Every structure is written in structure tokens, then in C-alpha cells.
Chain A
Amino acid sequence: MKSTLDSKNLPILLPVLAFSLVLMIWELMVRVGCWSTDVFPEPLRVIISMGELISDGTLFKHVISSLFRVTIGFYLAIALGIPLGMLLGRREIVKHLFNPVIQFLRPISPLAWIPLSMLWFGIGDKPAVFLIFLSSFFPLVVSTTAAVISINPVFFQVAANFNFNRLEVITKIIIPAILPSIFTALRISLGIAWLVVVAAEMIAVKSGLGYLILDSRNALRMDYVIDGMIVIGAIGLFIDFFMKRLGRIDSVFWASATR
């Protein structure tokens, strides 16, 4: 008879074990703790209310809103951050000009921008999108710059030798060379963006997972609060998995093989 504990099943089996453990501890805390189940609901109740949220469509609506904002903000960060990073990496003068400002702005948490973003963009999607943009913009600029600087100079000499024009240098040398590290940077900054969206939605908007959590707390529905947290975690997990998969496509495979 084949054991279920062979090494092929382990990567699935062990996480399932850990999750069950968390569930058990949760259940235990509810039972021995002195909170009322309205304040700290047990797993079963959370699962039932999850069903409610799914069947009446609210959960779907909030998930879509959050994903929409993250997508827009993230794309904006890519569209501006990566070209700027390339410029910083290739042009010494531009780097000396902008790098100090970027290094200064980078450690400021996107959440510190909440007051200003509301002042500038008012109420609605815009301030939230702006915060998400900020959260991924700086990490993307910094890692793109670093990646461009570390490109082997021989490749630029090859480009000069074969008479590449500027566009070809970008599309045939710079982009493919930095792609592997860019994928890692994208994965990390998308993770940050997903962290920030919840906070951003606690202000100024009436939809999204962050809003769901805030609104449920105000209505004293802690089961919905926990549902919101679970969905955020699950989607975050899925995004990370998806980005890891992207990093394995053929055109970036050479990097892991040559390293």
C-alpha cells in the first residue's frame, strides 16, 4: 500500500494541516475565551455568513471594486515607474537629479498621503487609486534602476557593434535583461498594493473589501469583518501564486538557469 505521506503529497498536506490547526485554535479560543460570540464569532458562523455574502452578491461586488482599484493604480505605477527606472539606470545625470528625491519620498508610508490625496482627489476611486499607485511606484522605480545598472556592459557593446538604434537597445537589450528582476519587483509591489488597498478603502469610498470591513465593524458584524479578512488573504495568495507562475515563462527562464 502506498503511504499518503510520500514526498509528492507533502506540499499540499502540510499546509492543510497548518490551516486546520489554526481553525482548531480559533474554535478553542472562542470556547474558553470570555468574549461573546457576537464580538468574536466561531469558525462555523463565519463560514455561514460568508455564504450569505456570496449569495447576495455583496462580496463579489466588493472584490471587483478592490481588484479594479489595484489594477488601475498598479498599471499606472508600471507605466510611469519602469520607464523612469530605466532612465535613471541609463542616464547618470537623471539619476543624480532625481534619485535623492525618490529616496526621500520612498520611506514615507502611502498611508501618510491619505490626507493630501483626499484634498487633491476628493471622494471616490481616485484617492484610493492614487495611494495604490504611490505604494508600488517607488519600489518599482528603485528596483528597475538597480536592474538596469547591473546589466553586463558587454551587452551594450554588442548592441553598439551591431548598430542597434535606441529602440532596439531598449527592446532587445534592456527589457529582456531586466525582465527577471522586474518580475520579482512586480510580485513584491503588487503584494504591497494589495496591502494598501484595504487601508485606502477605509477612507473616501463606499465599496471594496476595506469598506466591507469598516462598514461591518460599524454594524457590529464581526463575522463579516473576518470574512473580509479571509477573502483578502485568499486573493493575496492567489495573486502571489499567479505572479510566481509568470516569472517561470520561457523568456525569463534563462536567468534562473545561468545564475
Chain B
Amino acid sequence: MGHIVIENLRKEYSNRRHFSRSPGSNPAEYREIIRVLDDINLEFEDGEMVSILGPSGCGKSTLLRIIAGFDKATSGSIRIDQKEVKGPSPNHIFVFQHSALLPWMTVRQNVGLGLRNIEDKARMEEKIKEYIEMVELGGFEHHYPYQLSGGMQRRAELARAIAANPDVLFMDEPFTGLDFLTHMRSREETVNVHEYIGKTILFVTHDIDDALIMGDRIVVLGGKPSRVKMERTLHFPRPRDFEKYPELGKLRSEVFLMLGVPYAV
């Protein structure tokens, strides 16, 4: 289960102004309201992999955090499986933009976080092992996060998220900071994991190719305040590449243009 409906979502931040105040003005006027997201209406099917694209600072992380319940919308509604989102839940696991493994716990303990309520300890250990092996971290169970490379940390965090068996997985730029090859491999792994578990995955990215290669659907945000500028379902079977599907290549140029780069290279 992981059917998400977003209706008329709006998000405003109020920032305190720092420039000089005119005498006698109302203190309320010192606050400046910044509207980040406006008029967002989206619906994601259960099991869909959705890529969210947009220029830096357009509110992608904000949108993801609101859907995951870490932040409140100013107005509008978000329902996951007909239930209004009120706060974080183990059914909706967030993979953070910067590594959020608990540094004082080993890989095994971190992955075990979402499994800690299993009564049968032997079964729990078995499950932990299964998920660690799924992301190819076998042998690193007793390593602390600082003993892992950046890519391995991401995989451990992915394993921890999946182990909790959530209905929805949120990933905020899961591949930033990885070298090119690790990036490509992680992309593939994420697609495989998605195919294997079949859960709804919402992921935010800067990388247009990531979005087009991985997503069942892409959502492009943009403008001030940000709205949905483009929403497309991608029916291309995987593995995808731009030569095999010229239409995908055309879409790529279109998205590049939309994000302000006229000549896609």
C-alpha cells in the first residue's frame, strides 16, 4: 500500500527581516512571508517510482518532508492510503539528503532499527542479515558508519529503510556525493530494489538522467512559488537508454530546456 494524494498543497515560510524598520510600523510587518510551494496537486499510484526534479532551492526537499510528515503544510491536504498525514511514521521511511545512519551503531544495529519489534530474536537476526546482503554489505555487519565509504553508507541506509517494510520510501538526493561509477551502480541497485519490493518510492534528484532512467513518472517543479511544471508517466521498459528510446531523448531535451539549459549535451 502506498497510494498518495496531494491536494492544493501550499507551503509558506515566514522569515524575520533584518533590514531597518521604519518608525511606527506594525511589528507584524517585519516578517516576510515566502511562499515556496503553491497549488501542488499530485497523485501517485501504489508501487510507483516517482522522480521529482527542479532547480536548486525550488522546494523539492520541502515537498518531500511535508509528505513524510516531518514538516507541516501551510494549507492543503496529503493523504496516504486515504489517511491524512499527521507526522512521521514507520510506514513512511525517509532517506535523508546527508547520511543519517546513527554513528554509534554498527551496520547491523542500524539496519535492525526497523525490525526491533520482532519478538523472535533469531528471526530478527535472519532478516537483518537478509537486508544487509541485499545491498551487498555482507561482512560489514559489525562496522561502524565511519568505517564505510560514502556509497556503502548510502546502501546501509537504504537497507535500514527497506528493512522497516514501509509502504512508501522517500529519498532525498540519494546519490549526491558519489563518484560516477558508484552513482551508476546505485541507480541500478535502487531500480532493482524497487522492482523487488514493489513499494512506492518518491525520490528527489538534480540529475535529469536519473529521473528519466529510473522513474515510472517524473514531476518537474519550478517557478516562484514552485508549481508542477510538468508531469509525465514513463512507460518505457527498463533497462532504458536514450538511444533505444528516441522519445525519451526528446523528453530529456525538453526537461533540460525547462530547467534553463537550452542545449542538452
Chain A residues proximal to chain B, CB less than 8 Å: 154-155, 157-158, 160-163, 172-173, 176-177, 179, 251-255, 257-258
Which of these, B68, B70, B103, contacts A254 with CB under 8 Å? Answer: B103
CB-based contact B70/A173 at 8 Å: no
Distance, CA A160 to CA B70, complexed state (A): 9
Given known contacts A157-B96, A162-B164, A163-B90, is B146 in contact with A257 (CB within 8 Å)? Answer: yes
Q: Are the CB atoms of A158 and B104 closer together than 8 Å?
A: no
A-B contact count (CB 8 A): 55
Chain B residues with CB under 8 A of A162 = 90, 93, 113-114, 164
Additional pairs, 9, CB under 8 Å, beyond known A172-B102, A176-B105, A255-B103: A157-B70, A157-B88, A158-B102, A160-B70, A162-B93, A162-B113, A162-B114, A252-B104, A254-B146
Q: Is the CB of A160 within 8 A of B113?
A: no
Interface size class of B (residues with CB under 8 A): 20 to 34
Question: What's the nearest-Cβ distance from chain A to residue B131, in Å?
Answer: 14
Contacts of B90 in A (CB 8 A): 161-163
B interface residues (Cβ-Cβ under 8 A, vs A):
68, 70, 87-90, 92-94, 96, 98, 100, 102-105, 113-114, 144-147, 164
> In the bound complex, how far is the Cα of B147 from the Cα of A179, in angstroms?
19
**CB neighbours of B114 from chain A (8 A):** 162
Instruction: State the CA gap A179–B103 with chains docked (Å).
Output: 12
Q: How far apart are A17's CB and chain B's nearest CB, in angstroms? A: 38
Interface pairs (22), CB distance under 8 Å: A154-B96, A154-B98, A155-B102, A157-B70, A157-B96, A158-B96, A160-B87, A161-B88, A161-B89, A161-B94, A162-B90, A162-B93, A162-B113, A163-B89, A173-B102, A176-B102, A177-B104, A254-B103, A254-B104, A254-B144, A254-B146, A257-B147
